[in-house]
Chains A and B, each alone.
Chain A
Amino acid sequence: MDAYVHLVPWIIALPLVGFLLNGLFGLAFESYRDRKNLIGAIATSAVFFPFLIALYLFFAMSGDSEAASVSLFTWMQAGDFSVDIAYRLDQLSILMTLVVTGVGALIHLYSVGYMADDEGFWKFFAFMNLFIFAMLNLVLADNMLLLFLGWEGVGLCSYLLIGFWYTDMAKSDAAKKAFLYNRVGDFAFLIAMFLVFQITGSLRFQDILDSAYLFSTDQAFLVGALIFIGATGKSAQIPLFVWLPDAMAGPTSVSALIHAATMVTSGIYVISRLSPLYMMSPELMLIVAVIGALTALVAATIALTRYDIKAVLAYSTVSQLGFMFLALGSGAFVAAMFHVVTHAFFKACLFLGSGSVIHAMHHVEHKLHKTNPDVHFDPQDMRFMGGLRAYLPSTYKTFLIATIAIAGIPPLAGFFSKDEILVMTFNAGAGVYGSIYYVLWAMAMLTAFMTAFYMFRLTFGIFHGSFRLPKLIEGAKDSAKLLHESPWTMTSVLWGLAVLSVIGGFIGIPNFVVATFTGTADVNLLSNWLDKVTLDADLILSKQVEWMLLSGSVLVASLGIFVAYKKYGNQEPVAEDEAVAARFGPLYSLWNKKYLFDEMYEGGIVRPVVRFSDRVLAVFDIRAIDGFVNFIASFVRFFGHLARYLQTGMIQTYAYGMVIGVVLILYLLIIR
């Protein structure tokens, strides 16, 4: 691989160039801001060309290739501590690079149409390129510190883009919320980094993996747990997931890129990167799996109750990320990465499709508002939608394909990856803490059922039945005429992602499926590809059990779709939701209130901290700390003023000063 690794810096550099071009020109020249085609072209090609390079590297590599790294320069050095700006090319990093740049380029293209009317067009694309730059640093970093730089960089870009419409207070609050929750995780990640350096004396991944034997089981648990806490922040797991639904305040293409396809999967990437460390501690693996399964279930139940179409997708993302952590905790790192890839395809497709819907609804609101200023409705609320398939045919078809994919119907992408996770969870039942893994498997099956259910509830609610807006809003009689499909730049991206959602799963066909017919098989491309970089648990289930599990997962998915069709196929969602609510009673209201997580944080942490700060810390701060600081400051300033008297402006004084200096020098050198 050494022959190719020199191309890696170009992958990193191009998005940075795009950011600088659009950012600086946009900042300096107002006329540049209106050249939207140019800005969009620069930004999109700054991501597309790295994708081509990554593709070239991918075909130059094979599953057996040795990892290679390229060091640009020494970043910092102090004593034994030395960190390079260095990038690592191996099977895992190139896989993530392909996802980031490939899906990223598509979403950039989509945004050219989606953001066309926005005043901050140039700023948006500058931030998007900066995000890609940071994300590539994260996945290609050769050491933990550079990874952390990317980690913080994506956090910053996420903050900037969630709060992109920062004049809206709620949106800028959502940005702050995301940033603060991530901060908690980042702190744990930092401590993990200190510990790793203390134990191995290096922050390079190669050194850490080579000297994994230096870790005692307890140390592996501690370091792994801290990194996992970092991952729960960035990848939105219990207890730090509450920021992700709020993060939907940003433009929809941001949600698709950052909060579905790339940034939120970085926690999974880091843990896969350090898989040998995690495999040392079964307790740690169990914790990861439990948190993952719990998050998946909790988020899926909340998603059942949402009307905001982006909120459904947001909770669905949290839930799918939970599946990935469940896979990690079951020792199925390949399955987790597999789900990262397929999820990037279908979830990006879903988000962009919802963006297309919101685009159309927003247009309707805008038009109605012009003729009648009293008309107001939320363009993201599916209660006002229904029957849109007649008006947005491409959006409908692609959305449906991605929904089938996420529901887990073969042979679409989501089926293979989700099935592999379920199989591997069941497989972990044979190991230490086996019985708990069977419980987790059951939870995951339940979640898979719910996933199919709430996703089809969403699709039916938006696209099926009749258009409900004219009935609900006065003065919106003929609003259906105002609906229109998005431009081709947007729909072509939807189709591209839909195709990937269909065929994406074939990179990871389970071996046993083919082996049943041919005896043995080696068709799981992804597993062979990642063989060298991740340390997976062995699959010990028999073919028969695997077939049973596979049929089971198809069955629950179909059941979910069937129930959703019965309930929402052609009916009003509100009435049906009330029927569901009546059946589940208090449980449903718990889901509807999002398990009161926000309220618990508010009541348990935010308000006590604010009160404590207000009554104790603020007083201490003003009286003691400020007092002390001000005392020091005025003390120092006093000496400053005192010294000022020496600076009389009189040349005689100046000469006196020099003479005193000379006498002192001569005293020091001769007399002493």
Chain B
Amino acid sequence: MESVNELLTISPIVIIGFAGLFVMMLDAFTGNARWSFYASLFFCLAALAGAVQNVLGPTGTSFYSLVYYGGTASFGAVLVLTGTLFSLCLSKDYLEQTGNHIAEVYSLVLFAAFGMLLLVQANHMIVLFLGIESMSIALYALAGLLRDQKKSVEAALKYFLLGAFSTGFLLYGIALLYGSTGSLALPEIAEASDKGVMYWAGVGLLFTGFFFKVSAVPFHMWTPDVYQGSPTTVTAFMATASKSAAFVAFILVLSRALPDTSQQWQEVLWIFAVFTMVIGNLLALVQENIKRMLAYSSIAHAGYIMVGLAATSGAAYSAVLYYLFAYTLMNVGAFGVVAYYECHKNCDFTEIKNYAGLGFKKPIMGILMSVFLFSMVGIPPFAGFIGKYRVFAAAIDEGLISLVIIGVLASAISVYYYLSVLVYLYMKEDETGMVMKRPSTLYSLALIILALLTIYFGVHPGLLTDFLGSFYSVTW
């Protein structure tokens, strides 16, 4: 019984790991990608149920303290699986319409999700490293999915080379931390007394690894190329699930392995948050391709989240978790609408200028896009507003006033590029006269659910914020 209970603490990891293998075998025997699609949806739902079960339960460690479960870690699993589930829902139609419906996508997505789940539940540096690597290797392959397109191959190679580069830093950092503290378990690293140069070099290189994964400036340069080169629904998956996983793991490392030295590393987060917010928003401003624009916007969002990390309080961490949830909903949604437009092949619908007049042609899609974009700007009553507000409020409580001012100014820039998409959708005349297809029921249902959740958590945030606050004994 003891071992069964232990297995339950990692039930999402087990289910998704098995699912990846199962879907791969399924394809080998049936050769029908649709089966793989439905199987992966099913397993995703099952794993999500397991993760929800864990997040409602107690916190603790299992498997000889290698794995941490409950609380933030299991909420991280919920975030990862939500992103995975919704981007999977959108994938089938998109890949079929663009002629890339191959079953390997699903097993690769599931392997990547497996790595992310391992990452968020890691209580030990080796598990963390395993998670990051399983995630990354699957993502490299996913980025290169469109083998016959130059952009895709280029993206995969760039991602792989730079990823390997950053992994070197990360692994070296882990090694140095082990050298100075004598342990790889997160809580034991926190207890170490000797904090010399080796310790700080280790922390710095560890930060480098995380900064690369969350695409903080100046470690961000791979992001636009990879997001643009990958199939759009896979981009949605990368932009949400992998970001959430990296940030949740980062929070766990900061709060469980490095809590006593926050005075020193807070400054690093402060400076890099400023870089990330300012450069991310400035570059998003000049993009003409919507996928690149959303890539830079995701960099900017990483910047806002880093403001929360720099605040280092329990309130800030729980605000960041809320932000990640809102971010997942609205980003999958926005990429989903883009993917819908892209299904029409006679026009390149990644160029923003081709969006002219589309808002009136397919009114529901236009409304959905408006909801997601307004939420990203941070306008009430959408979830994005509450997320940004909570993060900035927590940072102000910790006295990071100038950082928040920079953040607010930077996000003022973002209004321009988000709303310029709406300007094209609604205020320009359509000249092509092309007929838009009807999205499938599952596709539109997934997008509508995302929009409704975005609105619901914007109007009624209390339940979730209270729950997330309870991880850190914070009452709002």
Task: Please determine whether B463 and A657 come into contact, CB atoms closer than 8 angstroms.
Answer: no
B207 at the interface (CB under 8 A from A): yes
A517 at the interface (CB under 8 A from B): no
A contact residues around B207 at 8 Å (CB): 665
Task: Please determine whether A654 and B221 come into contact, CB atoms closer than 8 angstroms.
Answer: yes
Task: Please determine whether B267 and A668 come into contact, CB atoms closer than 8 angstroms.
Answer: yes
Which of B's residues lie within 8 Å of A, judged by CB? 157-158, 161-162, 165-166, 169, 197, 200-201, 203-205, 207-208, 211-212, 217-219, 221-222, 224-225, 264-265, 267-268, 271-272, 279, 282-283, 285-286, 363-364, 393, 413, 416, 459-460, 462-463, 476
- With contacts A658-B166, A670-B200 taken as known, whether A647 is within 8 angstroms of B221 at the C-beta atoms is yes
Task: Please determine whether B416 and A633 come into contact, CB atoms closer than 8 angstroms.
Answer: yes
Tell me the nearest residue of chain B to A665, going by C-beta.
B204
20 contacts between A and B (CB under 8 A): A73-B460, A637-B286, A641-B286, A651-B157, A651-B158, A653-B221, A654-B162, A654-B221, A655-B161, A657-B218, A658-B166, A660-B218, A661-B218, A661-B219, A662-B204, A665-B204, A666-B200, A666-B205, A669-B201, A669-B204
How many chain A residues touch the partner (CB < 8 A)?
33
A31 at the interface (CB under 8 A from B): no
Interface centre among A28, A643, A646, A649 (most CB of B within 10 A): A643
Q: Shortest CB–CB separation between residue A39 and chain B, in angstroms?
A: 19
A582 at the interface (CB under 8 A from B): no
Tell me the nearest residue of chain B to A642, going by C-beta.
B282
A586 at the interface (CB under 8 A from B): no
Task: Please determine whether B413 and A636 come into contact, CB atoms closer than 8 angstroms.
Answer: yes
Q: Shortest CB–CB separation between residue B48 and chain A, in angstroms?
A: 25
Q: Which of B208, B267, B413, B459 contacts A661 (CB 8 A)?
A: B208
A41 at the interface (CB under 8 A from B): no
Q: How far is the CA of A669 from the CA of B285 in the complex (A)?
A: 32
Task: Please determine whether B162 and A669 come into contact, CB atoms closer than 8 angstroms.
Answer: no
Q: Which of A27, A643, A669 contacts B265 (CB 8 A)?
A: A669
* A 620-672 contacts with B by CB, 8 A: 633, 636-637, 639-641, 643-644, 646-647, 649, 651, 653-655, 657-658, 660-662, 664-666, 668-670
Q: Shortest CB–CB separation between residue B460 and chain A, in angstroms?
A: 5
4 nearest interchain CB pairs?
A657-B218, A640-B286, A654-B221, A640-B282
Q: Which of B162, B265, B463 contacts A651 (CB 8 A)?
A: B162
Q: How far is the CA of A655 from the CA of B212 in the complex (A)?
A: 11
Q: How far is the CA of A670 from the CA of B173 in the complex (A)?
A: 14
Task: Please determine whether B204 and A644 come into contact, CB atoms closer than 8 angstroms.
Answer: no
A contact residues around B200 at 8 Å (CB): 666, 669-670
Q: Which of B201, B212, B218 contacts A670 (CB 8 A)?
A: B201
Task: Please determine whether A658 and B203 come into contact, CB atoms closer than 8 angstroms.
Answer: no
A518 at the interface (CB under 8 A from B): no
A542 at the interface (CB under 8 A from B): no
Q: Count A-B contacts at CB 8 Å.
A: 91
Q: How far is the CA of A643 from the CA of B283 in the complex (A)?
A: 7
B contact residues around A636 at 8 Å (CB): 282, 285, 413
A contact residues around B279 at 8 Å (CB): 643
A contact residues around B221 at 8 Å (CB): 646-647, 653-654, 657
Tell me the nearest residue of chain B to A72, going by C-beta.
B460
Q: Shortest CB–CB separation between residue B263 and chain A, in angstroms?
A: 11
Task: Please determine whether B165 and A658 come into contact, CB atoms closer than 8 angstroms.
Answer: yes
Q: How far is the CA of A664 from the CA of B219 in the complex (A)?
A: 12
Q: How far is the CA of A662 from the CA of B219 in the complex (A)?
A: 9
B contact residues around A74 at 8 Å (CB): 462
A167 at the interface (CB under 8 A from B): no
Task: Please determine whether B203 and A669 come into contact, CB atoms closer than 8 angstroms.
Answer: yes
B contact residues around A649 at 8 Å (CB): 225
- With contacts A633-B416, A670-B201 taken as known, whether A662 is within 8 angstroms of B208 at the C-beta atoms is yes
- With contacts A654-B222, A658-B166, A658-B218 taken as known, whether A665 is within 8 angstroms of B286 at the C-beta atoms is no
A contact residues around B218 at 8 Å (CB): 657-658, 660-661
A contact residues around B393 at 8 Å (CB): 78
A77 at the interface (CB under 8 A from B): yes
Task: Please determine whether A655 and B162 come into contact, CB atoms closer than 8 angstroms.
Answer: yes
Q: Shortest CB–CB separation between residue B284 and chain A, in angstroms?
A: 8
Tell me the nearest residue of chain A to B196, going by C-beta.
A670
Given known contacts A643-B279, A668-B268, what 10 new A-B pairs fall within 8 Å (CB)? Answer: A637-B286, A640-B283, A643-B282, A646-B221, A657-B221, A658-B218, A661-B208, A662-B208, A666-B205, A669-B200
B contact residues around A639 at 8 Å (CB): 282
B contact residues around A27 at 8 Å (CB): 363
Q: How far is the CA of A647 from the CA of B211 in the complex (A)?
A: 18
Task: Please determine whether B286 and A644 come into contact, CB atoms closer than 8 angstroms.
Answer: yes
Q: Shortest CB–CB separation between residue A218 and chain B, in angstroms?
A: 35
Q: Shortest CB–CB separation between residue B213 and chain A, in angstroms?
A: 12
Tell me the nearest residue of chain A to B169, going by C-beta.
A662
Q: Which of A640, A647, A653, A669 contacts B264 (CB 8 A)?
A: A669
Task: Please determine whether A28 and B265 come into contact, CB atoms closer than 8 angstroms.
Answer: no
Tell me the nearest residue of chain A to B270, going by C-beta.
A668
Q: Shortest CB–CB separation between residue B76 and chain A, in angstroms?
A: 24
Tell me the nearest residue of chain A to B364, going by C-beta.
A28
Task: Please determine whether A658 and B282 come into contact, CB atoms closer than 8 angstroms.
Answer: no
Q: How far is the CA of A646 from the CA of B224 in the complex (A)?
A: 13
Q: How far is the CA of A643 from the CA of B278 in the complex (A)?
A: 10
B contact residues around A647 at 8 Å (CB): 221, 224, 283
Q: How far is the CA of A666 from the CA of B460 in the complex (A)?
A: 43
Q: Shortest CB–CB separation between residue A458 and chain B, in angstroms?
A: 44
A contact residues around B364 at 8 Å (CB): 28
Task: Please determine whether B286 and A651 come into contact, CB atoms closer than 8 angstroms.
Answer: no
Tell me the nearest residue of chain A to B285, going by C-beta.
A640
Q: How far is the CA of A654 from the CA of B224 in the complex (A)?
A: 12
Q: How far is the CA of A78 from the CA of B165 in the complex (A)?
A: 44
Q: Which of B219, B265, B271, B463 contacts A73 (CB 8 A)?
A: B463
A contact residues around B285 at 8 Å (CB): 636-637, 640
Q: How far is the CA of A78 from the CA of B476 in the complex (A)?
A: 9
* A 579-614 contacts with B by CB, 8 A: none
Tell me the nearest residue of chain A to B393, going by C-beta.
A78
Q: Shortest CB–CB separation between residue A29 and chain B, in angstroms?
A: 12
Q: Shortest CB–CB separation between residue B157 and chain A, in angstroms?
A: 8
Q: How far is the CA of A444 from the CA of B282 in the complex (A)?
A: 66
Task: Please determine whether A661 and B211 come into contact, CB atoms closer than 8 angstroms.
Answer: yes
Q: How far is the CA of A639 from the CA of B285 in the complex (A)?
A: 10
Tell me the nearest residue of chain A to B286, going by C-beta.
A640
Task: Please determine whether A658 and B286 come into contact, CB atoms closer than 8 angstroms.
Answer: no
- With contacts A639-B282, A660-B218 taken as known, whether A655 is within 8 angstroms of B165 at the C-beta atoms is yes
Tell me the nearest residue of chain A to B386, going by C-beta.
A76
Q: How far is the CA of A271 from the CA of B173 in the complex (A)?
A: 68
Q: How far is the CA of A662 from the CA of B222 in the complex (A)?
A: 16
Tell me the nearest residue of chain A to B157, going by C-beta.
A651
A contact residues around B272 at 8 Å (CB): 661, 665
Tell me the nearest residue of chain A to B268, going by C-beta.
A668
Q: Shortest CB–CB separation between residue A672 and chain B, in angstroms?
A: 8
Q: Shortest CB–CB separation between residue A575 and chain B, in angstroms?
A: 55
B contact residues around A669 at 8 Å (CB): 200-201, 203-204, 264-265, 268
Q: How far is the CA of A74 from the CA of B466 in the complex (A)?
A: 11
Q: Which of A633, A653, A662, A668 contacts B271 (CB 8 A)?
A: A668
Task: Please determine whether B205 and A662 come into contact, CB atoms closer than 8 angstroms.
Answer: yes
Q: Shortest CB–CB separation between residue B430 and chain A, in angstroms?
A: 20
